Structure 1
Amino acid sequence: MATPRDHAPLAEQVEELLATDGPLPIVAAGDPVLRRGAERFDGQLDSALLARFVGALRVTMHEAPGVGLAAPQVGVPLRIAVIEDPAPVPEEVRLARGRVPLPFRVLVNPTYEPVGADRAAFFEGCLSVPGWQAVVARHAEVRLRGEDEQGHPVDEVFSGWPARIVQHETDHLDGVLYLDRAELRSLSSSQAMAERWAQATPEGAAKALGFDLP
């Protein structure tokens, strides 16, 4: 059954979300908002409300903790996402995954396209699918186009782990979860990840669980 909130203007919905202090509640897989394409941002929130919303997304991302969060993950169907990764990982992981620090960024109306044909496969998780990870083969390098929170155009190439984050969060805005792109034979609980698959690459998991890597 639809609730009045389903039909409320987006600004009103965001104001309601921001009425309480602290991180916003994260929507879990199974909620239709994660499967509908988000609405292009075109001033539905004024600049002050947008700044408050972006700030709340950042707090929520940090608290989770995660390295990205899209507006639909807090129930708001707008093409807005935040990303940030301090990349506190061992050198072996950094080299294998291309995981380098990614400063805080706001992505507004983002789209991406591959640069070249190379793909990289690693375990990946999602704040909206807690407790599980799976191997996802993604473009190793992508070109991101969109805007920042000030409306300035963005046209930038990302590679390595930052490219993975950009793809994951932009997919959310198209109603796509990482599981849609995952090798399902690799699906592993958080416990299994900690006990078995903490290596820098998923090669051991591929051999043991019986799936192919690109």
Structure 2
Amino acid sequence: MASPRARTPLAEQVTELLAPGGPLPIVAAGDPVLRRPAEPYDGQLAPELLARFVQALRDTMRAAPGVGLAAVQVGVGLRIAVIEDPAPVSEEVRIARERVPQPFRVLVNPSYEAVGARRAAFYEGCLSVPGWQAVVARHAEVRLRAWDEHGRAVDEVFTGWPARIVQHETDHLDGVLYVDRAEPRSLASHEAMAARWTQPTPEAAARSLGFELP
């Protein structure tokens, strides 16, 4: 990554955003920032400001709570995301969804590619689409290439639920929401999810709502 630029418009935006302190406001679907590809990070933020912004993303993600958050979700069009998943799920869910804990990490300029042809479909939600979930078929294994917040290269394969998180957050930085990839007939409110579709897999939902799984 290049050295920081002095007083870029994005730096001014981030400085203003951080000024109140506490978790950042999350942008909801309908805001154009969620539909524009984010600008690659190339030193637009000074190191101290980048560190503060990353911490704010982490605090906001945890407060929401969520397992990932992209910069565009707080209105900043930079190609930066954070992920973290303590995976507080039952053994049955862990096995069915291949959901294992993920430590906190920062993804700068991430991209992914599928590893193999296997796909998995599960209900998925988004902090920028509050109140709803839908089934999304995604690559079961992906290779992530990115940088961390210190400029170190990341080249790692993710499988199962961690692969889903990587795809979801990287998609955000490309202007893609999970609903773009979702099965429309699976769309369910949080209330419907709690009442009907708490099973580890969406097979019952597929039969009842009339959609196919891969």
TM-score after normalising by structure 1: 0.96
Corresponding residue of 2:3: none
Query: d(CA) in 2 for partners of 1:56 and 1:120?
Result: 32
Matched with 1:171 is: 171
Aligned equivalent of 1:196: 196
Offset at 1:153?
0.6
- Cα deviation for residue 21 of structure 1 reads 1.6
Structure 1: tracts of 5 or more residues without a match: 1-7
- Stretches (4+) displaced over 2 A: none
Match of 1:162 in 2: 162
In structure 2, the residue matched to 1:109 is 109
What is the distance in 2 between the residues matched to 1:105 and 1:65? Answer: 16
Q: Equivalents in 2 of 1:154, 1:89: separation in Å?
A: 27
Letter in 1 for 2:171: D
For residue 173 of structure 1, report the CA deviation from its aligned partner: 0.2
| 1:1-214 mapped onto 2 (5 Å cutoff) | 9-214=9-214
Secondary structure of 2:78's aligned partner: coil
When the two structures are aligned, how many residues end up with a matched partner? 207
3-state DSSP class of the match of 2:162? helix
CA RMSD of aligned residues (A): 0.6
Please list every run of 5 or more consecutive structure 2 residues that lacks an aligned counterpart in the other structure.
1-7
Deviation at 1:157, TM superposition (A): 0.2
Secondary structure in 2 aligned to 1:82?
Answer: strand
- Distance in 2, matches of 1:74 and 1:112, equals 22
Give the TM-score normalised by the residue count of structure 2.
0.96
Q: Secondary structure at the match of 2:185?
A: strand
